[in-house]
Each structure stands twice: as structure tokens, then as C-alpha cells.
């Protein structure tokens, strides 16, 4: 038996996705999903917690920063210690890069 899932991009209903898969409960076939996209995707859009007068698009937190936070928390560091470490690393990198310019 087939399962299906339909969705559209928030703020752009003309961009749609359809996912189709084999229902694992009723079949011994391995799970395979086919995703189909119809329309043109919207590249970037401000998220709901932003100041609309700002023209800079939302950027995701870099993976390296998220890994640093995860590692700090798993090692028992406080939120402040993790934050200070990331800020120090960023300031150090910025000053090192400015020496080359």
C-alpha cells in the first residue's frame, strides 16, 4: 500500500512537494520514498521573529558553531562558558584575518 504526503512552501503556495512511499506495515519491501517538487522555490524569507525593516535575510547558525555548543554542553560547561568560548574564537579569528588585509 502507498502512503502520500502533500505540502506547500510557507508564503509560496505555488511551490509544492509530494512524497510517496511504500507502507512498511503492509509490505516486506524496503522503505523507499519518492519526493516530487513542483514550482519555483522561494530563496529566502524573513522568519517570524525578525524586524521587518531589516533587509538582511535570515542566516542559519553555522554547523561548526552548533557543534561547539553541543560539545561544550556535553562536557558540562555552563551556557556562559560556551558562549564566551565561541565569542573569543570569533574575535580571535576576526583579528587574525584583519592582519592579512
Give the total number of structural domains in the chain.
2
Does the residue 56 lie in any domain? no
Residue 28 is predicted with a pLDDT of: 67
Looking at per-residue confidence, does 16 or 25 come out higher? 16
Q: Determine the average pLDDT of the residues in 1-26.
A: 82
State how far the Cα of 44 lies from the Cα of 50, in Å rounded to an integer: 13
Does the residue 43 lie in any domain? no
Does the residue 15 lie in any domain? yes
Residue 30 is predicted with a pLDDT of: 65
Does the residue 27 lie in any domain? yes
Does the residue 47 lie in any domain? no
pTM of the model: 0.39
Check whether 49 has a pLDDT greater than 70.
Answer: no
Does the residue 80 lie in any domain? yes
Does the residue 76 lie in any domain? yes
Domain span holding position 19 = 2-38
Does the residue 25 lie in any domain? yes
State how far the Cα of 81 lies from the Cα of 48, in Å rounded to an integer: 29
How distant, in Å, are the alpha carbons of 42, 63, 64, 73 from that of 82? 34, 15, 13, 7
Looking at per-residue confidence, does 13 or 101 come out higher? 13
9: pLDDT confidence band, cut at 50, 70 and 90? Answer: confident
Residue 22 is predicted with a pLDDT of: 79
E-strand stretches of the chain: 2-9, 12-22, 33-38
Residue 18 is predicted with a pLDDT of: 92
Can you say whether residue 11 is alpha, beta or left, with left for phi > 0 and alpha for psi between -120 and 50 degrees? Answer: left
How distant, in Å, are the alpha carbons of 6, 8, 32 from that of 36? 10, 12, 13
Amino acid at each position: 500500500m502507498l502512503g502520500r504526503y502533500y505540502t506547500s512552501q510557507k508564503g509560496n503556495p505555488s511551490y509544492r512537494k509530494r512524497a510517496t512511499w511504500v507502507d512498511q506495515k503492509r509490505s516486506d519491501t524496503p522503505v523507499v520514498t519518492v519526493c516530487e517538487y513542483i514550482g519555483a522555490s522561494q530563496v529566502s524569507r524573513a522568519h517570524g521573529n525578525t524586524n521587518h525593516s531589516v533587509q538582511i535575510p535570515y542566516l542559519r547558525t553555522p554547523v561548526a558553531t552548533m557543534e561547539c555548543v553541543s560539545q561544550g554542553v556535553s562536557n558540562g560547561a555552563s551556557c556562559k562558558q560556551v558562549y564566551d568560548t565561541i565569542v573569543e574564537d570569533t574575535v580571535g579569528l576576526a583579528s587574525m584575518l584583519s592582519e592579512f588585509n
